[in-house]
Chain A
Amino acid sequence: MSTWGRRLRGFGAFWWDFVVGDDWRVAVGVVVALSATALVAHDDLPAWWVAPVVVLAVLGGSLVLAARAARRG
């Protein structure tokens, strides 16, 4: 790979790590949570509870996966 290719890859990797972090599923979960909130709010239903429920479930799921990964070593 050329020097520019390596730099570009490093730049992309930095921003991926900066924004997405250790578990990409958390970032996907956030998008799902806010999209679901928007859908519920669009139907004029109370939507404030959707994001907290989804986000805390996503956090719990991510922790379970981390625990399983630690057990496998």
Chain B
Amino acid sequence: MADVLLVLAVFLACTVEAVEALTIVLAVGVSRSWRSAIQGVAMGLLALAAIVAALGPALTLVPLNGLRLVVGGLLLVFGLGWLRKAILRASGFKDLHDEDAIYARQLAAANDAAPSSRLIVRDWYAFTLSFKGVLLEGLEVAFIVITFGSNQGSIPLAVLGASIAVVLVTVAGVAVRGPLARVPENTLKYVVGVLLTSFGLFWGAEGAGAAWPGSDAALLGVIATVAVVSLVFTAVMRRVRSRQLSRTPEPVLPAQVRP
């Protein structure tokens, strides 16, 4: 069960980040140079693979309880960040993530930049933007792959979840030839936030010396609890937001000010 949840969590997190990276790569590819954009993607993926290959085996040497405490803590910080943002978006306190708008902004910026070539790269701007997009969006996934994989003792399983997501998003992007605006990114972020927070709580508490009732089966209870509490928070925040908006005074029009 824990293995299935591991693959699911990595797959969903990777899907979200891959959609965001795809938006950047598409914008530079369409407006600048596909060759340089793909070179940037290849370098970005190579750097991520090197990070996983270097840190993954090193983490398996750390004693399991210490690893679970540190990794659980980091996952908790990450998960709570995702969950907090997702709740703020779902309740209207934060704008929803809009891939179409981001794509349009990236396209405009790419059209304005001056061309320059370095070494075997024809368009340095397209290369660096693709590279940065893939590396930065992928860094969180690399971290999740390493931590989930080393904790469960199965980095290949975590890599499998991430690889399926990258392939699926790439195939969909090539088929659509545009940003994947229809992927329910905000909902996915919510689910990933719940999963990361739950795994973080489970491993973190175990690493701190706590024993879960029912052992591994308790993970399902933790996920259910985090999900329900998050939904309650979202409902409350929605009510708070609508009350705030209803209290906002109507703008005074010039005609109303005149005597």
Residues of A within 8 A of B (CB): 18-23, 26-27, 29-31, 33-35, 37-38, 40-42, 46-48, 50-52, 55-56, 58-60, 62-63, 66-67, 70-71
Contact = CB atoms under 8 A, between A and B. Distances in A.
Contacts of A30: 73, 76-77, 80, 200, 204
Contacts, number: 110
A58 B211 contact: no
B201 interface: yes
Interface string B196-216: 010011001101111111000
Interface in B64-81: 69, 72-74, 76-78, 80-81
7 contacts: A19-B74, A33-B204, A34-B205, A34-B207, A37-B204, A47-B208, A51-B205
B77 A56 contact: no
Interface size grouping (class) on chain B: 35 or more
Contacts of A51: 201, 204-205, 208, 210
Contact of B93 (A19, A33, A56, A66): A66
A29 B79 CA distance: 13
B172 to A, nearest CB: 27
Nearest 10 A/B pairs, CB to CB: A41-B209, A21-B81, A47-B210, A37-B208, A38-B208, A51-B205, A48-B210, A30-B76, A34-B208, A26-B80
- What's the dominant secondary structure at chain B's contact region? helix
Contacts of B76: 30, 33-34, 55
B84 A22 contact: yes
Contacts of A47: 205, 208-211
A14 to B, nearest CB: 9
Nearest to B85: A22
A71 B81 contact: no
B250 to A, nearest CB: 16
B233 A60 contact: yes
A41 B87 CA distance: 32
Given A48-B205, A48-B212, A58 B74 contact: no
- What's the dominant secondary structure at chain A's contact region? helix
B241 interface: yes
Interface centre among A23, A34, A40, A56 (most CB of B within 10 A): A34
A67 B205 contact: no
B244 interface: yes
Interface stretch (B1-9, B50-58, B221-229): B221-229
B72 A55 contact: no
B81 A26 contact: yes
